[in-house]
């Protein structure tokens, strides 16, 4: 009893494999996180370099800009940035260690441990960002 359903293209699904950790295991999630945070951090680096260029505009220009950076919306972005840095940094330690062939058999444990550290540091940084 063959029942054809809707037509669905299978093309261009390869790229989706970079960003879809569903049905995959811890290492794959680490890969996706590394890629997403990496791309985000490169964009941030470029933006950051442009933003700090405003220092050339002297005290008035800079201090006015910094004032706008204290809005809660920007602080939330700060926390997202810190999360990206922590995930990328700690995951990078995992990639470096196992990428050189050490601790490969416990790579999942290493990943979850480092992500737990990231969560703790993020909670602490978040608290600092919103209270200091």
Q: Which residues bind other proteins (CB under 8 A)?
A: 1-11, 13-15, 17-18, 22-28, 30-31, 34-35, 38-39, 41-42, 45-46, 49, 52-53, 55-56, 58-59, 62-63, 66, 85, 89, 92-96, 98-102, 104-105, 107, 128, 132
Residue whose entry in the numeric block shows the structure tokens 């602080």 = 75
Q: Which of 94, 102, 100 is nearest to 34 (CA)?
A: 94
Q: Which is nearer to other proteins, 11 or 73 (CB)?
A: 11
Least CB distance to other proteins at residue 132 (A): 6
Q: Which is nearer to other proteins, 78 or 119 (CB)?
A: 78
At CA 87, angle to CA 82 and CA 88, rounded to 5? 100
Least CB distance to other proteins at residue 73 (A): 18
Least CB distance to other proteins at residue 42 (A): 5
Q: Which is nearer to other proteins, 52 or 116 (CB)?
A: 52
Q: Which of 37, 18, 38 is nearest to 28 (CA)?
A: 18
Which residues, other chains included, contact 27 with Cβ-Cβ below 8 Å and sequence gap of 6+? 107, 108, 111
Cα–Cα dist 87/71, whole Å: 25
Least CB distance to other proteins at residue 87 (A): 13
């Amino acid at each position: 009893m063959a029942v054809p359903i809707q037509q669905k293209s299978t093309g261009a699904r390869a790229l989706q494999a970079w960003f879809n950790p569903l049905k995959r295991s811890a290492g794959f999630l680490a890969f996706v996180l590394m890629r997403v945070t990496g791309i985000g951090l490169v964009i941030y680096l470029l933006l950051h370099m442009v933003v700090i260029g405003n220092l050339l505009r002297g005290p008035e220009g800079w201090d006015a800009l910094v004032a706008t950076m204290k809005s809660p919306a920007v602080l939330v972005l700060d926390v997202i940035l810190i999360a990206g840095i922590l995930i990328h940094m700690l995951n990078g330690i995992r990639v470096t260690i196992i990428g050189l062939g050490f601790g490969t058999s416990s790579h999942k444990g290493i990943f979850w441990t480092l992500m737990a550290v990231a969560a703790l540091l993020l909670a602490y940084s978040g608290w600092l960002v919103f209270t200091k």
